[in-house]
Amino acid sequence: MATATIIDGKDFAARLRAAIAVQVADLKKAHHLTPGLAVVLVGDDLASQVYVRNKGIQAQEAGMNSFDHRLPTTVTAAELLEKINQLNQDPAVHGILVQLPLPKHIDADAVIDAIAVAKDVDGFHPYNAGLLAVGGAGMVPCTPVGCLMLLKHQLGKLAGLRAVVLGRSNIVGKPMAALLLREHCTVTIAHSRTHDLAEECRRADIVIAAVGKPQMVKGDWLKPGATVIDVGINRITAPDGKNRLVGDVDFDSAVQVAGAITPVPGGVGPMTIACLLLNTLTAACRQRGIPVPEVQPAAE
Ligand code: GUN
């Protein structure tokens, strides 16, 4: 039986980071500007610590300044808001990311609202979400941007294709749908209350799975030849008793039916940080009134 093309997000992200590093070096030389990314981590969640460390390392590898701010779980909302206010005022900081989730006693929406719109490299601020909805040039959330890059790399123009987005989060599902609409796809957002998820998927040329349910999307949910982007990262215990990372798509059955598919790990995951660096570069240029460079991944 035919098997799908495996979309190598790890390689694409490495080439994108290399291209970003070239642009950062140019900015330093031509404008004495070093993009700066501040990452705020509250508490000691292990997965968050790993993400934050990787963000810092990759920002520095791209030639950017990386500022880490670690705050204890016991930090008050007022203290965290004061930290964000300081970063908003700091001219060396062009991008601010507050790692989610936050402890329960802190209102995450209020924290996101406090980040300066121009420095909101996560694209989570309601003003940036609004700009995306009306087609303006704001900051767009990193994971959906990464998914779109992989899709365009695989398919070229997306106009007229049917896309189904599984999941309606503010971080992935909703901005993903808005981006696909901007590319002239016919977009359906499906979610936990959708009556027949499998049938919605079967109609789609593009399936984006972002629901957080391990291996939910099966091969027989897919239209033959569909392009499948798996945003899920789920840790499961496999039948052999070992821990394993799997996506929201049942890879082994989907790979038999899809035309192209992202693996987990090594698909969408590495694209998220690469796109965060891209947003930081964009934010730095805009804040200094410098034209935003067109960044194309380095050659394969
Ligand atoms: N936690 C998991 N993913 C993300 C992300 O993309 N941004 C932020 N701020 N927190 C996260």
What pLDDT does residue 227 have? 98
Summarised one tens digit per residue, pLDDT across range 123-136 is: 999 999 999 999 88
Asked whether the domain spanning 142-269 has the same topology as the one spanning 30-118, the reply is yes
Candidate from 4-13, 155-164, 238-247, 272-281 with smallest mean pLDDT: 238-247
DSSP state of 120: B
What pLDDT does residue 41 have? 98
Q: Which of 45, 46, 48 is nearest to 73 (CA)?
A: 45
pTM: 0.97
Question: What number is the average pLDDT over the span 143-155?
Answer: 98
Question: What number is the average pLDDT over the span 187-202?
Answer: 97
107: left (phi over 0), alpha (psi -120 to 50) or beta: beta
Q: 30-118 — its CATH code?
A: 3.40.50.10860
181 touches ligand 1 (CB under 6 Å): no
Question: What number is the average pLDDT over the span 31-58?
Answer: 96
The residue ranges of every structural domain in the chain are 30-118, 142-269
Q: How confident is residue 247, by pLDDT bands cut at 50, 70 and 90? A: very high
Query: Does 96 appear as a known binding residue?
Result: no
Query: Does 168 appear as a known binding residue?
Result: yes
In angstroms, rounded to a whole number, what is the distance separating the alpha carbons of residues 60 and 67?
A: 10
What mean pLDDT, rounded, does the chain reach?
97
Cα of 99 vs centre of ligand 1, distance in Å, is: 5
Summarised one tens digit per residue, pLDDT across range 81-120 is: 999 999 999 999 999 999 999 999 999 999 999 999 999 9
Summarised one tens digit per residue, pLDDT across range 254-286 is: 999 999 999 999 999 999 999 999 999 999 999
Q: How confident is residue 295, by pLDDT bands cut at 50, 70 and 90? A: very high
What pLDDT does residue 299 have? 85
DSSP state of 137: S
**Catalytic residue positions, numbered:** 55, 99, 122
Domain 142-269 class in CATH: alpha beta
266: left (phi over 0), alpha (psi -120 to 50) or beta: left
pLDDT of 1 over the 70 cut: no
Cα of 142 vs centre of ligand 1, distance in Å, is: 9
